[in-house]
Every structure is written in structure tokens, then in C-alpha cells.
Amino acid sequence: MFVRGLKRKCFDGEEDIEGTLAGIKAIPSYNLQRQSLLDMSLVKLQLCHMLVEPNLCRSVLIANTVRQIQEEMTQDGTWQMINTQSTGQASLDRLVSTDILCRSSRDQAEEKHVPAYGTFNKDFESDQAQGGSETMSTASSVQVPRNLQNNMWEMENPQENKGNFQKSLDQIFETLENKSPNSVEDLFSEVDNSYYDLDTMLTGMMSNTKMGHCDSLETFSSPTNTASNSNCKSDLNDLDHIVEILVES
């Protein structure tokens, strides 16, 4: 059962899904789209041309988009704490929903949709059906400057962060250049987690959600990578971490 039409208000009439069967086939999961948008946004935040100061307005708008997605993901339970004191039944439901997230896009058509948000256009959807190649083409076509700095908005950056962060971003770019990863999550799989400790010293705006990540990811696995638990754990950890590093003063 899914809610037809709610999230598609902005589409052309002709392209609306008419029948249930057609609807199931044509709607890749909203969550998958949302995740791709999140990944794309993070890549945009990182891959700036750092010889010239990045555009602050653009960075703020992208960061706000990232925050919006994360808030929504927190609310609808895809970014949740397994250890909450909820009833057994409720947590079972949540487990199911995250499980669905990990299935292939065809299976995900059956899950409940979040109303009101998410008008992704048809072009985007058809690209998703091609296996997420859209995100990768973005990443690989952007030029990768080697001399990065870790600070987007305030340039009074502590020098000691540079080396660690530089190293992790270099790894990210090596991954971009060498492999053709199926999802952006793979990028973070090789990142050294040891400086996550540094992260706990920095004041983070996502301190609420941060606690949940380590615990919540037992059942969360990447859609394409079955070796997955550690990938996803580092994925979401570093997702937060990178956004924090990027906004640190």
C-alpha cells in the first residue's frame, strides 16, 4: 500500500502514475532517492575548488539541505536509535523499515512513503533506475584539486586538523579515481576512524544523532555492499564528521 500522488504534486499530469502496478514499478524508493541526494550534497560540499574561497552562500544552502534530509531521516526512523525504550512492537516495525531500505529498489516499492516531502523529478528517478550512475558521474567528472583545506566557512583553522583531514579526503579522492564504487558509501569505508575521537572534542551540532549511529547500524546495511555493517557504521559516522569538520570554526 502506498500513497499515490502525494509526493508528486509538482509533476506533469501526464507523467503521474495511473495504475497501482505501474506505480510500483516506477517508484524507486523515496528513501533511496533521498539518500542519493544526501550523498550528492556531501560530495558537493567537499569537492570545492579550493584555490579560491568557496562560495559561502552555496555552501550554506547545501549544508541546510543536508540538515533537512538528516532531520527527516531522524523523524521517520531511518536514522534511529535501536536502543530506545520503545515497545517491542514499535521497534520491530522500525527494524523492518530499515531492512526494507537495504533491499533492492524493486522490493522497496512496497514500503510506506513519507508524505509531503520529496518532489524528485522523473529524470532523477530514471537515472536512479540505472543503478545510481547519476551520482557517480557527478563525482567523477568534477576535477579533484590536490591542495585542499578542511575549512569551508572560517579560515582560522587549526593547523593540526589539516593533516588528518587531508589524509582522509585524499583517500576519498583516490577512491573516486581508482574505483567505480556503486555507492558513495563505499567512499567512506576506508576512512580512518581514529580521529573520530578528535570529533568528540569538537562541539557538534549533531550531538543528538551522533550517539545513535554506533548503535543503530547493526541492522543497517548498504544496498549494494553486503559486507556491510562496518561500512555503514563508518559511513554515517563520517557523514556527520565531515559535515562537522566542514562547519567548524
Binding site for other proteins (CB under 8 A): 9-12, 14-15, 34, 37, 40, 44, 50-53, 55-58, 60-61, 63-65, 68-69, 116-124, 134, 138, 149, 153-155, 203-205, 244, 247-249
Q: How far is the CB of 17 from other proteins (least distance, A)?
A: 15
Taking the alpha carbons of 9, 107, 180, 67 in that order, is the dihedral positive or negative?
positive
Q: Least Å distance between CB 241 and other proteins?
A: 13
Taking the complex as a whole, the smallest distance from the CB of residue 141 to other proteins amounts, in Å, to 10
Nearest CB to other proteins, comparing residues 114 and 232: 114
Which residue in 65, 78, 79, 1 sits closest to 37, CA to CA?
A: 65
CA angle (123, 74, 219) in 5-degree steps: 90
Cβ-Cβ contacts under 8 Å for 207 (sequence gap 6 or more): none
Looking at the Cβ atoms of 153 and 196, the one nearer to other proteins is 153
Alpha-carbon distance of 92 to 130, in angstroms, equals 32
Q: CA angle at residue 104 from 102 to 105, to 5 degrees? A: 110
Whichever of 66 and 81 has its CB closer to other proteins, that residue is 66
The residue whose grid cell reads 567537499 is 46
- 186, 225 Cβ separation under 8 angstroms: yes
Nearer residue to other proteins within complex by CB, 149 or 221: 149
Q: Is 246 exposed, middle or buried (0-12, 13-18, 19+ CB in 10 A)?
A: buried
Task: Provide, rounded to whole angstroms, the least separation between the CB of residue 36 and other proteins.
Answer: 9
The values of phi and psi at residue 224, to 5°, are: -110, -15
Least distance (Å) between residue 130 CB and other proteins: 14
Minimum CB distance to other proteins smaller for 3 or for 61: 61
**149 vs 234 by CB, closer to other proteins:** 149
**Residue position matching grid coordinates 582522509:** 168
What's the min distance (Å) between Cβ of 196 and other proteins? 18
